[in-house]
Structure 1
Amino acid sequence: MRAIQFTEYGPPNVVHVVEMEAPNAGRNEVRIAVRASGVSPGEMRIRSGALRDVVPMTFPYRTGFDAAGVVDQVGDGVTGVAMGDEVFGMTSPVARGANADFAVLTAWAPKPAGWSWEEAGGTAGSVETATRVLDRLSVGVGHTVLVQGAAGGVGTIAVQLAVARGATVIGTASRHNHDFLRSLGAEPTTYGAGLVERIRAMAPAGVDAVFDCAGGSLPDLVAIAGGTARVVTIADLDAAAHGVHLSHGAPADKTSAAVRALADPLALHGLTDAVRLAGEGRLRVPIAAAFPLTEAAAAHELSESRHARGKIVLVH
């Protein structure tokens, strides 16, 4: 089968296609013939070497965390799914390897009928991440939530999940994305200078939680939230210096005890919630671009530009 990997830290062009033997499903796993898979922004930082102290690795590194496809192998202990079923889900955080013709999933859910393969292939990781952070912030009915970087792959999902929980959502994005954010249920504003004053004008009673998907603005976000306890980032590697929690689900056998202690449990229940919301027409997956598997380096380049609106996927 074809698979995407890199064998050294570096720019997008270190990513390449290799031929390798297809993996087999183990106990409590399924294997899928992949139709589409997601390009993870977090893997841009892994590939560049920015996370080498958080996620140490041995090369080669196989990319891809979420995928959608047709079940073609069912491991021991698996119930409720059969050969030929259409599913979306996630690989093991250790093995990864979803950007390939076949992938082994450790968590999955039925593919919603209303989603294309591209939408389903890029969803699971964003849903898990958004659910994990919203759970940590205890976002619920009547809360006001600021999503910083709301037009990206995780931000678009976070906006919709927070709205579905009954929250009022303010989302930051470039001005040309403001109508798009309104279509997702958020009140938009721009990021950058004057953010604190803009948010205070939009939410005079204050903001209950801040979900940072962009990085680089933690002092302002802490000021908006009135302290560090109600701010969680998935993007700012300087979080600790600002007293802010950096949410990640570090694999147990790839990180130090100190890093594992700070990791959040994976919010796998978010996949089931996503299926329900999709069926109710309350969750859609904006796709920024879809690239052939052979153009994975170009997909990484677009992701690294941080100008993509929605999710970037590879199609197989």
Structure 2
Amino acid sequence: MATNFVVPTKMKAWVYREYGDVGNVLRLNQEFEVPEVQKGQVLVKVLAAALNPIDHMRVNAVYKLPHFTLPAVPGYDLAGIVVKVGGEVEKLKVGDEVYGCATIYGTLAEYTAVDESTLALKPKKLSFEEAASLPLVIHTAYGGLERVGLSPGKSLLVLGGAGGVGTLVIQLAKEVFGASRVAATCSTGKLDLLKSLGADLAIDYTKVNFEDLSEKFDVVYVAIGQSERAVKAVKPGGSVVTIVEHSKTLPPPAFSFVSASDGATLEKLKPFLESGKVKPVIDPKSPFPFSQAIEAFSHLQTCRAAGKVVIHPVP
């Protein structure tokens, strides 16, 4: 691996200068400024990126970060190579293959500056494309299960099992948290996918109302907005965690969870990724080339993707 990289001052990046629909406001800029590396940050040459629902929510201003300014590059997930190191960086060095979440600058660009604390060394078993698909969803899946107190012997129902988060929840519940039984909902064509990930019961939501099942669960993980129905599927004394409903009053025992991004979680789960016990799930239409980022967003917004929508290669 080369350790001498010539970093340009300008780069290709997808940029939005105003809020609105992705197709109307996102533009490919051929001469965007490469971000300066601050203390505690590294500059990463992005080789692959992935999209999440929060990415288009930020572009259309449904979700706003404090102190956020335009113009901006969308995207959180990335995998790439460290090409420059800022002051007070302790663990990473130039040439390291990394993956994680960029929380300040976006990832749909050739380069991005990232806090060292949100990155981890890429598992050798994974390609850059596979690694880029994981950070935000694996943080959300693991953090939600930890917060809700899933433990060995408990049963779990996942609402939205075929999505980016849901596919990881199923696997982590079985392999990391030791759930005795995992059920998950999806559409007809994705039942086999859920079973291949370890689901004991795959529920076709187009034919079955999960809350009408006689079986109830210790934990319900809501990856889609159905908390009102979810509380009808939980056992007495059980818990419901939702990752999508944060602004409304939730019916007990439901509560909302917002993920935080840190490299420590990625390091903790690395053995499961290296062994193949937990696998990335990439949507069959992926990867989208960098030039087709808008098409990738459009596919994500259909809510029909199975797993993650990935952009690769990045120039």
Matching of residue 196 in structure 1 with residue 211 in structure 2: yes
Secondary structure of the equivalent of 2:182?
strand
Q: What secondary structure sits across from 1:235 in the alignment? A: coil
TM-score under structure 1 length normalisation:
0.85
**3-state SS of paired residue (2:190):** helix
Q: Gaps (5+ residues) in structure 1?
A: 250-264
| Structure 2 counterpart SS, 1:31 | strand
Q: Which amino acid aligns with 2:44?
A: I
Shift of 1:229: 7.1
Deviations 1:69-106 (A, max 9, x none): 011112222233221111111112xx241121111222
Q: Distance in 2 between matches of 1:241 and 1:197?
A: 20
Shift of 1:149: 0.5
Alpha-carbon offset, residue 144 of structure 1: 0.9
Q: TM-score, normalised by structure 2?
A: 0.85
User: Letter of the aligned partner of 1:8 in structure 2?
Assistant: E
**Could you give the per-residue CA deviations for residues 104-149 of structure 1, whole angstroms, max 9, x where no partner exists?**
2221111112211111112111111112211111112111111111
Change (3 A) 1:298 1:27: same
Report what 1:254 is aligned to.
none
Between the aligned partners of 1:46 and 1:169, the Cα distance in structure 2 is 32
C-alpha separation in 1, matches of 2:145 and 2:266: 14
Aligned to 2:171: 160
Structure 2's unaligned 5+ residue stretches are: 1-10
Alignment of 1:278 onto 2:268: no
CA distance in 2, matches of 1:166, 1:159: 11
Q: 1:72 aligns with which of 83, 88, 103?
A: 83
How big is the alpha-carbon RMSD for the aligned residues of Structure 1 and Structure 2? 2.2
Aligned length: 292
Q: Secondary structure at the match of 1:20?
A: strand
2:61 equivalent among 49, 55, 58: 49
Map of 1:137 onto structure 2? 148
Runs of 4+ in 1 over 6 A off after TM superposition: none
Task: Indicate conservation of the 8 Å contact 2:185/2:202, yes or no.
Answer: yes
Is the 8 Å Cα contact of residues 141 and 168 (structure 2) preserved in structure 1?
yes
CA contact (8 A) 1:15 1:296 kept: no
Percent identity (aligned): 29
Counterpart in the other structure of 1:38: 50
The alignment status of 1:182 with 2:195, answered yes or no, reads: yes
Corresponding residue for 2:303? 306
Q: Which has the higher helix share?
A: 1
CA distance in 2 between counterparts of 1:56 and 1:212 reads 30
